[in-house]
Amino acid sequence: MAINLTKGQRVDLTKGNPGLSKIVVGLGWDPVQSSGGGGGFFGSLFGGGGGGANIDCDASVIMLGANDRLQNNKDVIYFGNLRSADGSVQHTGDNLTGDGDGDDEQIIIDLNRVPANIQKLVFIVNIYDCVKRKQHFGMIRNAFIRVVNPSNHQELIHYNLSDDYSGKTCLITGELYRHNNEWKFAAIGTGTNAAGLSEVVRSYS
């Protein structure tokens, strides 16, 4: 049974799940339907009947070394760089709409292959082209991050991002980090006004 986290909570991941070596981190969200009767799949696909561009959220991972610093730009895993150089982190690809149930984007992590110099993985969701499209996370609902054991499809951790993120364009959803040779997960849920992923990355440089 999954542990449901609240903002700021931290939980052991590997200690309570001995033998766990591979995880899937799923991130999901739904666009808020615009008024105008254009609901359902095609409504949100074409802007929800109220016009306007689709909201394209992108999930990414920043792999950090000592002092929570990015050591190499190749340690940023996103739709333009789907796999870490060491193969420990793999992004399954971009979802352009957020429609449908379940995870919108998934990141597969082989914990045993994460290099020893990497201390923390930070999971980010940002809105693509948010400034030009005038979009923010107040237009998104049901955002969540979860951790699944792919060997038996058991959901281990689930965190609903339920704060009011109106005006925010980027969410730091959660962190996976080393602690005494184990991996722990922290529910972060912080919204920022970063215009894009590169601005978030710079804050860790």
Q: Based on C-alpha coordinates, what's the Rg of the chain?
A: 17
How many structural domains are present in the chain? 1
Question: Residue 70: is its pLDDT beyond 90?
Answer: yes
Is residue 177 within 8 Å of 54, Cβ to Cβ?
no
pLDDT at position 188: 97
pLDDT at position 30: 85
CATH number of the domain at 160, please.
Answer: 2.60.60.30
CA distance 72 to 94: 22
> Is residue 202 within a helix (H) or strand (E), and if so which, with residue range?
helix 197-203
Question: Residue 45: is its pLDDT beyond 60?
Answer: no
Q: In this structure, what token pair is assigned to residue 11?
A: 């939980």
Instruction: Locate all alpha helices (DSSP H) within 39-166, ordered by sequence.
Output: 40-45, 130-133
> Is residue 204 within a helix (H) or strand (E), and if so which, with residue range?
none
Question: Residue 201: is its pLDDT beyond 80?
Answer: yes
Is residue 175 within 8 Å of 201, Cβ to Cβ?
no
Q: What is the DSSP string of 11-50?
A: EESSTTSTT--EEEEEEEEEEPPPSSS--HHHHHHTTTTS
Q: Facing residues of 158 across strands?
A: 4, 146
For residue range 88-144, list pLDDT tens digits in order.
Answer: 999 998 665 545 568 889 999 999 999 999 999 999 999 888 988 899 999 988 899
pLDDT at position 68: 95
Mean pLDDT for the chain overall: 86
The whole-model pTM stands at: 0.87
pLDDT at position 96: 54
Question: Residue 36: is its pLDDT beyond 60?
Answer: no
Is residue 165 within 8 Å of 136, Cβ to Cβ?
yes
Give rounded-to-5 percent helix, strand, coil for the chain: 15, 40, 45
> Is residue 148 within a helix (H) or strand (E), and if so which, with residue range?
strand 140-149
User: Confidence class of residue 46 from pLDDT cuts 50, 70 and 90?
Assistant: very low
Question: Residue 37: is its pLDDT beyond 50?
Answer: no
Q: Name which residue leads in pLDDT, 93 or 199.
A: 199
Range of the domain at 48: 3-203
Question: Residue 43: is its pLDDT beyond 90?
Answer: no
